[in-house]
Amino acid sequence: MVFLSWARPSPKDQKDCINRSGTFNYDVKYRGATLSILKQDQDQDQQLLDGFLINHSKVIVGSGSDAYEKAKTALKTWRHFGLDWAFVDPTTPIQNGVKFCVCVKEFLPWLRMPLQVVYVDETKNRKAFAFGGGTLKGHLLAGEERFSVEMDQDKQVWYEILSFSKPAHVLSVIGYPYVFVKQKYFAHQSSEAVKKFVSP
């Protein structure tokens, strides 16, 4: 099952994708693993983890408490997906268990890919906010992606993306090298979108 749209997906198209999606398409033992990966060596980029490929990006998007609050707002309103070729309905609440649809333009069609919020993690005493989304049946990939913002001791605000994935459909098996390059491109574009929102 693949969700395709020849025009930019409407709210109805996105809702249809969510309603027709199945359960998680990756093993329960990996659910929330993007939290534990961060506690290990972060130089695992492009290494395999039980068949999953890890993708990691971390950049400074501003400095100070105001920048942190703006960066957190950017995540909560899906500004990190505010791209010409990729988006999520910005009214989608970031709450554990909420399903959402990522829409991505690929050449002629748009792909609609269903996910579900696996966890929301906020540490107010050290100014850190993150959430992880897991792929559902109907997604071309199997895995999880974490988006986070954090202010460090030097008051620098970091935006981080961490994911692990592997093909879940014949289309992604054939085109996985391209998919991995596209993930890198998304990380760059997404970081720029957050930077722009934090410091317009």
- Amino acid (1-letter code) at residue 24: F
Q: Does domain 3-198 have CATH number 1.10.3720.10?
A: no
Strand pairing report for 3-5 and 110-123:
antiparallel
3-state secondary structure (DSSP) of residue 137: strand
E strand spans, the chain: 3-5, 48-49, 52-63, 86-87, 99-105, 110-123, 128-135, 141-151, 156-167
Summarize pLDDT for 93-119 with one digit per residue, the tens: 999 999 999 999 987 799 999 999 999
Residue-level pLDDT at 49: 62
Q: pTM for the full model?
A: 0.91
Average pLDDT over residues 63-76: 97
- Is the pLDDT reported for residue 88 higher than 90? yes
Summarize pLDDT for 120-161 with one digit per residue, the tens: 999 877 899 999 999 999 999 999 999 999 999 999 999 999
What are the residues facing 160 on neighbouring strands?
58, 148
Positive or negative: CA dihedral 30, 43, 181, 50: negative
Q: Where are the domains of the chain?
A: 3-198
> Degrees (nearest 5) of the Cα angle 188, 152, 40?
70
